Structure 1
């Protein structure tokens, strides 16, 4: 017991210390946990005395991790996913798996006869890190962009794919049709039981204990462990049971409360899980480094081979097709989980798991750096792809070519975000003749397609590039409206953009938005004729709302808003 407490304390202190250091240098804390485990384990300083006990505790962390992942899988969002996300995700997952299995078999890794290293590595290479991707996209404020939504959609469907793989994983050594059908029947029984209990029993119980936080926590853990043991009884994995337990709760109102209660406990055990994985990483050998290099190179190359082509074929443009491929170019935490399950099941050797852990560390660092500079990378790649013959959305038809060559738009919207979407909708509602005088410059393929279909002039291009502005004809426009806030602009700011516009067109009226009050004077100094300060517009409306509340007229004001929203079809809803 004393050894156990000492080992847990040592692992926790080491993980926290290295985690703080990782945050200071901008790296994922998971890397710190793996490095900490390596240093404490038999390949490092050999400080941990009871690695088997840590392994048991880390398995609990794995179960809680999968439970939380299940809670975060929104089946309704998967069902509502558009054709672009579903097709691109299917191509990426199936393509990576097929290419991966073939590639690793060519390298001499086994596939069958009780050894499934090539299959596990192929599946592991098809998964990307939700933790790393969401953090970087959140920091860059790109979660709500088209490439961000495509990336997140693919990640969600990757999680769904893992559920299917875990369903057949226990039967890999005897994978006959009859055995597969039995496995699927067991999965069906597990899922049906979980859904029925979570639909008809758990809501009543959780409602009764909602005011007792400790019982909510214990109830969530009891449900997770009960479903895990039910999966074990059905000869499935405990890990799959935990995942199903989470998914069965994900669409219900108390899911958020359960997640909030379990998160802190999960974080502790998950920390020990990744430290435990780090302990199993041996001192690198030439063969292990060779496999790790092959896995890393394949992961990056396969993302571009399986993600870019379907998105490009779906007419998303070069930029929106490249960015998800860059975002997804790393291994997932789930890859480590799957390899750990494979080792425990006796399906793979420790070399494959060690190589995957090493590759995860390297790719996490590389991909974090690449995602932070993804727009610069895309700006370099797009001209190269055009030179080899790939056409972008700015090269797709005579109508657009005529617009860009002759300019001719009196009013030009530079960038197209929510404010611009509402402006177009208001002008359409008023049947305003001004619409025929407007042209939009933006590189969002959805905007390009929808505006073109509605007859509005649209030019596909990056407003951060001077060549785009000149080619689009901003030099002849009378009014130039910058409609995108600074935090969404790529490679430029509104102040820089205004200076460029004023240099190209000294006579035009330029309107630009200010994120901060201190930006107003800078924009005027740069050459803007009017600065939009949205916070002041919103505060004016809030003042009016307070007055209507005092006058008992809030329902009337809300009715006015409802009438404006009725039958309103914006490009960016």
Structure 2
């Protein structure tokens, strides 16, 4: 017992120290935890050698990590996912699995025995939710079309992982009857958990909502209860903890539970990855070779199974490339799958080590690549066009829409402010739409505006040739409504300078994120600068006044009436 406490102390201490280094050098924390485990484990300094300690630490961490992954799976988002996301996710998973099985089975001599090819295919088909969401959040790209496609694929990957973990214990005897029995056990477990979380847990949590200790204790009790039920059904505690999390994600107190369990999650997830690092041996040449093959295959398969389907669905080169770039790494969930395979005796330790090394390699590379994904996609698009692949702008060129077709008013970039402006014009002066040109590279915006009869040009506004093609030289008014935080490859100030150089006499309306930007935009050549926070402040002040005068219901009714009249492109 004292040895276990000492081992946990070493795990947390080294995880913290190496985590600090990873933070300063902007590397994934998971990488630091894996290295910490390797350093203090049996293959490093040998400060932690007890297999029992490593096993207990790993299992506890795995249970909590799967519980939290389940809590963060939004079933409603899966139901609402559009056909593009569903088809992209389906093709990525099915295509990735098929290509993986073909590749890894063909090199069976180097991964002989067990179900190595199956586990490797599953591991390579999954992408890292932790790394992707963190980087997309920092880049303000979660709510862009490529960001939404990426997140949709990640959610459905998690669902696929749940199904695989359901049948994983039966892989050694995968007969039709055994498979159906496993699915039946999972269905019974899920149905029981969902029924209790819908009809029993809300009643209980409502009565303890004001006692945080009981909320936390209740969530943990639920996690271990469903885990134990799963164990009795011959599934696994890990599978049960995942189902426990998913079932809790659907009930009213999910956010409160998630907030209270987050601290424990971080603690035990750290322990899991440190324990996983302890199992990584010093690699030999065959392990390194397999790890490089896994990494190369993962990147190449994302191009084949993500880029190509999206491109064939006419999403444009950019919206097809970025999800493929975003998803080009191995998931922390892949490490979970591989670890369960090792514990079940389905795969060799060398295979697990190769996957861990490939995960580390791709985690480091993707941190740098995702930070520069926009610039990389631009270069790739230029190359793909030279190779003959057509983008959505080809459609417009074929229709004869060019500089001569430009209108008096040009909207450079189309996001929510521009969507609201178009809806307002439709409501107040629909004839004005005939004088507007919209320039943007969102394929959904392109198709929706074209269907409504609005003149739209598909293109990247950060390129001067796109501005020339849009007819900026003949425009009377140019509106830049997208804030700098959401612009890719450009800023409002740079766009103002480009527009002013192309058309010295046009009226330019720009948008400022910061008050300090206003003067710089005027100096660059803008005629008027909008500051969204000022209009937001005025609206909030009116709401406060209405609330003080007991007129908030009237204010809300007025807003509801205004919203009911609008048909926005980006709701």
Q: Is TM (by shorter chain) over 0.5?
A: yes
Q: Are positions 1:264 and 2:241 aligned together?
A: no
Measure, in 2, the Cα distance between the counterparts of 1:216 and 1:316. Answer: 45
Q: Match of 1:572?
A: 570
Q: Match of 2:154?
A: 155
What RMSD over aligned residues (CA atoms) do the two structures have, in Å? 1.5
Q: Match of 2:17?
A: 17
Measure, in 1, the Cα distance between the counterparts of 2:286 and 2:458. Answer: 48
Change in CA separation of 1:184 and 1:545 when aligned onto 2, cut-off 3 Å: closer
Q: Match of 2:34?
A: 34
Measure, in 1, the Cα distance between the counterparts of 2:226 and 2:233. Answer: 10
Measure, in 2, the Cα distance between the counterparts of 1:265 and 1:274. Answer: 14
Q: Match of 1:2?
A: 2
Q: Match of 1:48?
A: 48
Measure, in 2, the Cα distance between the counterparts of 1:194 and 1:556. Answer: 42
Post-superposition shift, 1:557?
3.0
SS, match of residue 396 in structure 1: helix
Measure, in 2, the Cα distance between the counterparts of 1:243 and 1:551. Answer: 49
Q: Match of 1:125?
A: 124
Measure, in 1, the Cα distance between the counterparts of 2:413 and 2:244. Answer: 44
Change in CA separation of 1:319 and 1:238 when aligned onto 2, cut-off 3 Å: same
Q: Match of 1:332?
A: 331
Measure, in 2, the Cα distance between the counterparts of 1:220 and 1:426. Answer: 47
258-267 or 491-500: bigger deviation: 258-267
Query: What are the superposed Cα offsets for residues 31-79 of structure 1, whole Å, 9 maximum, x if unpaired?
Result: 0000001111122111114242132122011011101111111111101
Structure 1 runs (4+) deviating above 6 angstroms are none
Q: Match of 2:95?
A: 95
Post-superposition shift, 1:375?
0.5
How high is the TM-score relative to the length of structure 2? 0.98
Q: Match of 1:465?
A: 463
SS, match of residue 222 in structure 2: helix
1:133-532 equivalences under 5 Å are 133-397=132-396, 401-532=399-530
SS, match of residue 412 in structure 1: strand
Post-superposition shift, 1:217?
1.5
Change in CA separation of 1:553 and 1:7 when aligned onto 2, cut-off 3 Å: closer
* Aligned partners of 1:515 and 1:533 also within 8 Å: yes
- Flag structure 1 segments of 5+ consecutive residues without an equivalent: none
Measure, in 2, the Cα distance between the counterparts of 1:110 and 1:365. Answer: 26
Post-superposition shift, 1:558?
2.6
How high is the TM-score relative to the length of structure 1? 0.97
Post-superposition shift, 1:407?
4.0
Query: What are the superposed Cα offsets for residues 366-424 of structure 1, whole Å, 9 maximum, x if unpaired?
Result: 011000000100110111111222111100156x7422242431100000011110110
Tell me the number of residue pairs that the alignment of Structure 1 and Structure 2 aligns: 571
* Aligned partners of 1:292 and 1:355 also within 8 Å: yes
Post-superposition shift, 1:111?
9.0
41-50 or 536-545: bigger deviation: 536-545
- Flag structure 2 segments of 5+ consecutive residues without an equivalent: none
* Aligned partners of 2:403 and 2:468 also within 8 Å: no
* Aligned partners of 1:55 and 1:273 also within 8 Å: no
Q: Are positions 1:85 and 2:85 aligned together?
A: yes
Measure, in 2, the Cα distance between the counterparts of 1:555 and 1:200. Answer: 32
Q: Match of 1:107?
A: 107
Q: Match of 2:67?
A: 67
SS, match of residue 283 in structure 1: coil
Post-superposition shift, 1:544?
2.9
Measure, in 2, the Cα distance between the counterparts of 1:411 and 1:339. Answer: 57
Post-superposition shift, 1:322?
0.1
* Aligned partners of 1:71 and 1:255 also within 8 Å: yes
Measure, in 2, the Cα distance between the counterparts of 1:424 and 1:397. Answer: 21
Measure, in 1, the Cα distance between the counterparts of 2:169 and 2:196. Answer: 25
Measure, in 2, the Cα distance between the counterparts of 1:509 and 1:397. Answer: 26
